[in-house]
Amino acid sequence: MRRLIAFPCAGETLVGTLDLAEGPEGLLIVSGGNEVRMGAHRGMALLAGRVAAELGVSVFRFDRRGIGDSSGENRGFDSSRDDIAAAVRAFRDAVPGLQRLTGLGNCDAASALALFHEHTGFDALILANPWTIEAVDDLPPAAAIRARYAAKLRDPREWLRLVRGGVDIRKLARGLAKASATPAPAAPARLAARLAGALDASPVPVTILLAAGDNTAIAFRDEWKAPMFDRVRTRAALHGRDTDSHSFAREGDKQWLFERVREALG
C-alpha cells in the first residue's frame, strides 16, 4: 500500500511517500542532488514498490526542504541533517513496529547519510556512488581523468582521432596537467575525510555500491584507498557494477541494484 505523508521539519513541511509492508524492517531512501523522491527515471519509486512487495520491507522516500513537494529553502546535502532526522521520525510514527532501519542514498545523499546517520537512528547504510568531489574547475576529478586516459590509450581509434585533429588539444593539456598533479595534503575538513571520520565513529554495517564508469564513483574509489578509510574497509561490503550510469539505469542495472539491496537488508 502506497500513501503520502506530510511531516514537519524546522518550521517547514516535508512530503514523503510510504510503501507499507508487514515486516519489521524499514528502508529510508534519501534523494541525491536536487532530485525529487521518485529518483532519476523513477528508479527509486520503482525500487521502493518492489522492495515492499517482494521483500516485505516498508520503504519511505521524501523530498527535503526546497525540493519537490516540500516547502522551505534548498540548502544542499550538507544541511540536510534535520530533514533526514524528521523523515526518520515520520517513518517510525507511521510504522510503529519498525525494529531495524536501513538508509539508502545515491551521490550526495549517500554522503549525507554517512555524515549524519549516527545522529538520526539508522541500523545499517547502503551508500551508492558517494559524493567526495570538491570542484576547483570545470574538469572531472583527477582520478576519473586518469581512468579515462588509460582507457583511451588502449584504443587505436583514439590515436587516429588525435592524428586527424579530432581532439581538443587545450582540453587535453588541462586534463593531463590535472591528472598528473600531486594532490594537496588532505585537510581535516575535506569532505572525504569527514565521511571517513563519521563512518569510523559508528559501528553500523555499511554497503557501498559503485558504478565502475561513473566519475563520482571513480573519485570515491580513489579516496577509498586512503589510510583514513582503513578501519571502515574492514567492516564494509563494497560492490561494483560495470556501468557508467550514475543512477544504475542501464539494462540489468536495476536488477543488480535490487539484489544488492536485498543482500544488505538481510
In this structure, are 224 and 117 located in the same domain?
A: yes
| Distance from the first to the final alpha carbon of the chain | 22
Nearest residue to 234 via CA among 195, 264, 257, 206:
206
- pLDDT tens readout for residues 20-64: 999 999 999 999 999 999 999 999 999 999 999 999 999 999 999
Q: Is the pLDDT of residue 189 over 90?
A: no
Point out the domain boundary residue: 186, 221, 253: 186
Q: How far is CA 230 from CA 17, 95, 102, 200, 235, in A?
A: 37, 37, 23, 9, 10
Confidence of residue 186 (pLDDT cuts 50, 70, 90): very low
Say what the pLDDT of residue 187 is.
42
Q: How many domains does the chain have?
A: 2
Q: Do 196 and 231 meet the contact criterion of CB atoms below 8 Å apart?
A: no
In this structure, are 36 and 10 located in the same domain?
A: yes
In this structure, are 116 and 220 located in the same domain?
A: yes
Q: Do 74 and 49 meet the contact criterion of CB atoms below 8 Å apart?
A: no
User: pTM of this prediction?
Assistant: 0.81
- pLDDT tens readout for residues 113-151: 999 999 899 999 999 999 999 865 555 555 556 556 555
Residue environment code for 125-161, b if the CB has 16+ CB neighbours within 10 A, otherwise e: bbbbbbbbbeeeeeebbbbbbbbbbeeeeeeeeeeee
Say what the pLDDT of residue 153 is.
63
Confidence of residue 223 (pLDDT cuts 50, 70, 90): very high
In this structure, are 173 and 78 located in the same domain?
A: no
Say what the pLDDT of residue 1 is.
84
Q: Do 15 and 70 meet the contact criterion of CB atoms below 8 Å apart?
A: yes
In this structure, are 112 and 224 located in the same domain?
A: yes
Burial of 249 (0-12, 13-18, 19+ CB in 10 A): middle
The grid cell for 225 is: 584507498
Cα torsion angle, 224, 247, 251, 42, sign: positive
In this structure, are 145 and 261 located in the same domain?
A: no
CATH of the domain at 15: 3.40.50.1820
Say what the pLDDT of residue 135 is.
67
In this structure, are 176 and 122 located in the same domain?
A: no
In this structure, are 36 and 160 located in the same domain?
A: no
- Domain of 22, in residue numbers: 2-134+190-265
In this structure, are 157 and 31 located in the same domain?
A: no
In this structure, are 161 and 194 located in the same domain?
A: no
In this structure, are 105 and 235 located in the same domain?
A: yes
In this structure, are 57 and 180 located in the same domain?
A: no
Q: Is the pLDDT of residue 181 over 90?
A: no
What are the start-end ranges of the H helices in 206-252? 215-224, 230-233
Query: Which amino acid type is present at position 200?
Result: D
3-state DSSP call for residue 57? coil
